[in-house]
Amino acid sequence: VRLIAVILAGGRGERFWPLSRRSRPKQFLPLLGDRSMLATTLDRLDGLVDPGDRWIVTARDLEKEARRHAPGVPAAHVIGEPVGKNTAPAIGLMAWWLEDEGTDVAVVVLPSDHRVEPADRFQEEVREAARVALARQAIVTFGVPPTRPETGYGYIEAGEPVEQGSVFHRVRAFREKPDPVTAETYASDGRHLWNAGMFVFPPALMLQELRAHEPRLTDLLSRVPRHGDRSSLAALEPYYEAAPSISIDYAVMERSDKALVARARFAWDDLGSWEAVGDPGTRDAEGNTARGVVLLEDCGNVIAFADEGLIAAVGVRDLVIVRTPDVTLVCRRDRVQEVRAIVGRLKSREDLDGYR
């Protein structure tokens, strides 16, 4: 089985503002170490996917930045979408371009900004998923057994295993982000898994299922030249203009009987907030997490992230403090979701828009 990786790196998440910015969203940030999330995602593929078989789909204005974080990926494999239309148009396009790579190929679609550990287990499970995807002609997604009643993730309800003892299950349903009560049930019933947003499939099968369930998209694709020259990139404009903005979950996975879910044994987190960055493993005795040059004097439960310069804090608790070259954010830990309100206010004020 030859694996071809497609990394989705077009997100604009505002949850890590001010570290993440319009021009430098989460996938380009070194949230967990010295390297960006995108670079770490690529590192995780070493030994699994040949550098020449890696693709990155991002926004057009992020193409250049994406290439900086992906020096081993062929420049022509970094695709800048003229307009973001969720995951289905991007995955459909890649299936269309990769279909003629042969029948021994499995495409692995991966987010660019999640935590996945350890890499060797991840690789083992992706290889297994690719074998199953080809052998059974299935679209395999990964479901992570919940460790908490998370309301910020979508869930997959697993059905019967494909054979006794297998980690591959039929899919009973895809579930939207639940309310807290429902999340408690999901976290404990043993059937619901976190939707990790990863997919493994033969490209022809994905096209077949898109044709069956979202024919508008395959009609549009048929007008896009196969990849190989610049004309195919020029053709992306009308394709993206006309494509519906829908997720691959909605377009295919919820409708197709080819969907399988693999119970993941690797650790996964979508790093949806500063909370996730300040994870227990990096805390000091007072519950503080510090990155960069940080001095804390009698502080507790503080996440301090100095992207540049020094952060000093005295006598404060339960805060997220972020310093970037032009912005300082101070936010109560339990209100990080409201940072979007700040970003919204910046957007509405011409004089402050540059801080977005």
- Contact residues: a copy of itself, CB under 8 A: 18, 293, 295, 297-298, 306, 308-316, 319, 321, 323, 325-332, 334-336, 338-339, 341-342, 345-346, 352, 355
For a copy of itself, which is the closer residue by CB, 37 or 303?
303
For a copy of itself, which is the closer residue by CB, 76 or 295?
295
For a copy of itself, which is the closer residue by CB, 46 or 308?
308
For a copy of itself, which is the closer residue by CB, 220 or 336?
336
In whole angstroms, how close is the CB of 15 to a copy of itself at the nearest point?
A: 12
Beta strands in 40-98 (DSSP E): 54-59, 78-81
CA neighbor of 214 nearest in space, from 79, 95, 102, 98: 95
In whole angstroms, how close is the CB of 299 to a copy of itself at the nearest point?
A: 9
Beta strands in 207-297 (DSSP E): 259-263, 267-269, 289-297
Q: Which residues of 155-171 are buried (b: 16+ CB within 10 A; e: fewer)?
A: bbbbeeeeeeeebbbeb
Rounded Cα gap, residues 47 and 26, in angstroms: 25
In whole angstroms, how close is the CB of 312 to a copy of itself at the nearest point?
A: 5
Pairing between strand 54-59 and 2-9? parallel
In whole angstroms, how close is the CB of 349 to a copy of itself at the nearest point?
A: 9
In whole angstroms, how close is the CB of 306 to a copy of itself at the nearest point?
A: 8
As given in the structure block, the two tokens for residue 263 are 């119970």
For a copy of itself, which is the closer residue by CB, 223 or 345?
345
Rama region for 185: left / alpha / beta (φ>0; ψ in -120 to 50; rest): alpha
Q: What angle do CA 63, 64, 66 make, to 5 degrees?
A: 65
For a copy of itself, which is the closer residue by CB, 162 or 316?
316
In whole angstroms, how close is the CB of 277 to a copy of itself at the nearest point?
A: 17
Residue 36 CB partners (closer than 8 Å, separation 6+): 27, 28, 29, 30, 69
Rounded Cα gap, residues 116 and 316, in angstroms: 32
For a copy of itself, which is the closer residue by CB, 237 or 338?
338
In whole angstroms, how close is the CB of 297 to a copy of itself at the nearest point?
A: 5
* H or E element, residue 161: strand 155-161
